[in-house]
Amino acid sequence: MATGNINVTAENIFPIIKKFLYSDHEIFLRELISNATDATLKLKHLSTLGEVKGDIGNPMLEIKVDKEKKEIRIIDQGIGMTGEEVEKYINQVAFSGAEEFVEKYKDKVEDSGIIGHFGLGFYSSFMVAERVEIFSKSFKDDAKAVRWECDGSPKYTLEETDRTERGTEIVLHVDDESLEFLEESRITELLNKYNKFMPIPIKFGTKEETLPLPEGAAEDAEAEKITVDNIVNNPTPAWTKSPSELNDEDYKTFYRELYPMQFEEPLFNIHLNVDYPFNLTGILYFPKLSKSVDPTKDKIQLYQNQVFVTDNVEGIVPDFLQMLRGVIDSPDIPLNVSRSYLQADGAVKKISSYITRKVADKLTSLFKNDREGFEAKWDDIKVIIEYGMLSEEKFFEKSDKFALYPTVDKTYFTFNELVEKIKPAQTDKDDKTIVLYASNAEAQHSYIDAAKAKGYEVLLLDSPIVSHLIQKLEGSKENIQFVRVDSDHIDNLIKKDEDVISKLSDEEKETLKPIIEEAIPKETYTVQLEAMDSNANPFMITQPEFMRRMKEMQATGGGGMMGMGNFPEIYNLVVNTNNELVSEILNTKTKKKQERLIQQAFDLAKLSQGLLQGEDLTEFIKRSFQMVK
C-alpha cells in the first residue's frame, strides 16, 4: 500500500470545490459519466486497432445507488487504469485541471452557469462526497487491479486489490449535505437532463417488460413478464446519423424524444452536418408558433460529444433563430466563457454564420419545391424570418428567394413578384412605386375598399416589427415606398399627374375650414380640405405615415427619435370638398344644425377607425337615435 500527498499549490482547494456555487453541484454525475464514456470509447478504438486481446463485448456504464450505505457507484467496462496511471491521471493531471479551474473562476460569481463545463472532471466528486474510492483494472493483461481513496484532504491511499473485471468503478460516500442524490428520482432526473444521448448505453437498475403473446395463444393466456436492464439513454440519437438514413417520421420521433411534453408537430426541420472548418452536427426544428408559446421552455439544446451542456445558446445561435427547437452538438464551442467572448470568437462566428446560411438554404428549398405548402406555413414562420431579415444582413440578402408578402386577399408574392405586379398601376408621378399595406384588415376595411376600387393591391403586414422591416426594405430597394392604406385618402397615397377639381371655391374653403376646426379638438386633429371623388366619405381620419411609423418603431425598440413613443396621438381630419354633405355643412344657415352635422360626420369617421369610445360613443348613439325618430 502506498500513501502520499496530492501536489497542492492552491490552499484549501477541496473546500473551494465542495462549496463552489452550490446550485450547480449536480454536475458531478455528468462529469463522472463523461469520464467513464471516454474510457469506454478509448477501449473500443484500441480494439479496432487490434491492441486489445479477445472480444470486448458490448460495454456499458452502470449507476448504482445504495441509500443505506450512502453510496453512489459509477461503473464502466472501459480501458481501466494501472497504479501508475492512477498516480498520473488522478493525482496529477485531473487535480491540476481542477486547481486551474478553481483559480480561474473562484471570484467570478456571474459565471455560475459554467462550472463543470468539462474543466473540473473527476474532482467534482468532492462536491457531494466526503470520501471517494476508485477501483480500477487496466485492459492490459499483466496489470494489477488497484484501489485509490481520498477523504477530501490532500492525502490519498493507493493499493493493489483483487478486482477481476476490466474497467473502473468510482464509489462516492455521499456527505450529509448531498443526501438528495441518493434518491432514485433525482439520479433519474440528472441522467435524463445530461446523459440522455450519451454514446455508450447507461444502465440504472432494471425494469419489467411484457413479452408479446405467441400466435394462436388462448384468449385467457397471460403474457410473460421478464426483467431487463433499464437503459436510460439513446446512444445513437438522430443528429448522429446521416440525413440519408432518416425519414420524416424519424425526425418527428426524435422531436418527441427531445420534448416529451410538446404535443404539436414541428413544421419542418434542418439537419446540420459539417466537419470543416469546424465540427458541428445537429437538427433544428421550426415549431408552430402561437400566442401561448413560452420562449423559456423547450429551447435549443447544446451538446458536446453527446453530453448535454446548456439550453442557453445565446452568442452561438443567431438571435432570430432562438425560437427554434432542436439540438446542436459541437466540440469546437468554448464553453466556460462569457457571451461577449463568444461573440468575438472566430470559430463561434463561423458556426453562427453557417447556421444562418443553412436555415436560409432550407427555406429557399422548401419554397421552390412546395410553394403552396410554404404559403400555408407562412403565418407560423413569418416572425422568425422577418426578425432574421432585420438582424442578419446575409439572411436579408438571401430572403428575396423565400420571404412572402401576403395581400388582404391571401395572395402571396415574393418581393420581386410584388413589384412587377403593382408597378404599372401604383407608380406615382415621381416614378416611385408605392406599396400599400394594412395592419388590420377589419379595422382598416373602408380604406382597403377605396384602394381596391382603384385596382390597387393592398398587403396585409401585421407582425409587431413591420415598421422596422419596411424601413429596412425602403433603404435597400430602389424607388420603393411603403404606405399604410389609412395614412391618407387614396388619391394622396399614390399621387398621379391628374388633379381632381374641387366643387368648392378657394373662398368657400377658407370659410369652411375654421367652422370645422372650431367643432373638433385642435390638439389632436389637423383639418385638411381635399378634392376627392364625390362618392368618397365626407370626413376621413388618417394618421401621418411618418409619425405613426416612428411611434411603432419606438414602441418595439429603436426608431431613431427619443421619446416618440410618448408623443400624443396626432391625426388628420380629411374633408372631402366634393361630397354633398360637406356642401350642406357650408350652406346650413343655423349654427346648431351645422355643429350637429359636423359632429355626426366626425364621429362616423372616428368610428371607422375605432377611435370612438367612452362618453363620445354614448353621445353618438343617443344622437343617432334622435336623428332616426
Q: How many CB atoms are located within 10 Å of the residue 170 CB? A: 21
> Is residue 81 a known part of a binding site?
yes
Instruction: Determine the Cα–Cα distance for residues 553 and 520; give it in Å rounded to an integer.
Output: 29
Nine cell digits for residue 289: 408558433
Using CB atoms within 10 Å of the CB of residue 575, give its burial: 0 to 12 exposed, 13 to 18 middle, 19+ buried.
buried
Say how far residue 519 (Cα) sits from the centre of its chain: 51
Instruction: Determine the Cα–Cα distance for residues 4 and 394; give it in Å rounded to an integer.
Output: 59
Instruction: Determine the Cα–Cα distance for residues 602 and 592; give it in Å rounded to an integer.
Output: 15
- Report the relative pairing of strands 202-210 and 61-66 from DSSP bridges: parallel
Nine cell digits for residue 210: 411484457
Taking the C-alpha atoms of 194, 196, 202 and 207 in order, what is their torsion angle to the nearest 10 degrees?
120
Q: Strand, helix or coil at 135? A: strand
CA-CA distances (angstroms) from residue 262 to 134, 266, 473?
A: 41, 9, 36
Radius of gyration of the chain (CA): 36
Instruction: Determine the Cα–Cα distance for residues 359 and 374; give it in Å rounded to an integer.
Output: 14
> Is residue 624 a known part of a binding site?
no
> Is residue 35 a known part of a binding site?
yes
H helix intervals, 23-82: 27-48
- Report the relative pairing of strands 225-231 and 202-210 from DSSP bridges: antiparallel
Contact 352, 135 (CB under 8 A): no
The residue whose grid cell reads 487496466 is 138
Q: How many CB atoms are located within 10 Å of the residue 110 CB? A: 7
> Is residue 97 a known part of a binding site?
yes
> Is residue 275 a known part of a binding site?
no
Q: How many CB atoms are located within 10 Å of the residue 227 CB? A: 9
> Is residue 339 a known part of a binding site?
yes
Which residues have a Cβ under 8 Å from the Cβ of 545 and sit 6 or more positions away? 483, 484, 487, 488
Contact 300, 322 (CB under 8 A): yes
Nine cell digits for residue 449: 375598399
Instruction: Determine the Cα–Cα distance for residues 510 and 233; give it in Å rounded to an integer.
Output: 83
Nearest to 6 by CA among 83, 80, 89, 95: 95
Nine cell digits for residue 312: 442557453
Residues at the binding site are 31, 35, 76, 81, 96-97, 168, 339
Residues at the binding site for ATP are 31, 35, 76, 81, 96-97, 168, 339
